[in-house]
Amino acid sequence: MTRQEIEKEIRAIFLREFEVENPEPDVNLRDAYGFDSIDAIELLMEIEKVLGTELTQAEKKKAMDIRTLNQIIDYVQILADCRQTESEKN
């Protein structure tokens, strides 16, 4: 997946699941939109759908430091790249 495809998917999730239209890329989601830990869990479940695989505990733990839309996109890009590399090896 390209970064643009990931961003489009994440923005669609924010609109559909959290009713946040066009979130700012570098603002703290908690401060700007009231994003809480329940929202974070829901977002991780949606990311799993986008990736087509479950996240490991280590991947979920890494997500706990994410605060902005750009950080979410970077996170998903890394996960997608890792999964692509793994599938190419197999």
- What lies within 8 Å, CB to CB, of 4 at 6+ separation is none
Does the domain made of 3-84 have the CATH classification 3.40.640.10? no
Q: Is the pTM value of this prediction over 0.85?
A: yes
Identify the pLDDT of residue 21. 93
Per-residue pLDDT of the chain (90 residues; tens, 9 = 90+): 899 999 999 999 999 999 999 999 999 999 999 999 999 999 999 999 999 999 999 999 999 889 999 999 999 999 999 888 877 776
Between the alpha carbon of residue 5 and those of residues 12, 46, 73, the distances in Å are: 11, 15, 10
- What lies within 8 Å, CB to CB, of 81 at 6+ separation is none
Identify the pLDDT of residue 90. 65
Identify the pLDDT of residue 44. 95
Identify the pLDDT of residue 86. 76
Kindly list the domain boundaries of the chain, sorted by start residue: 3-84
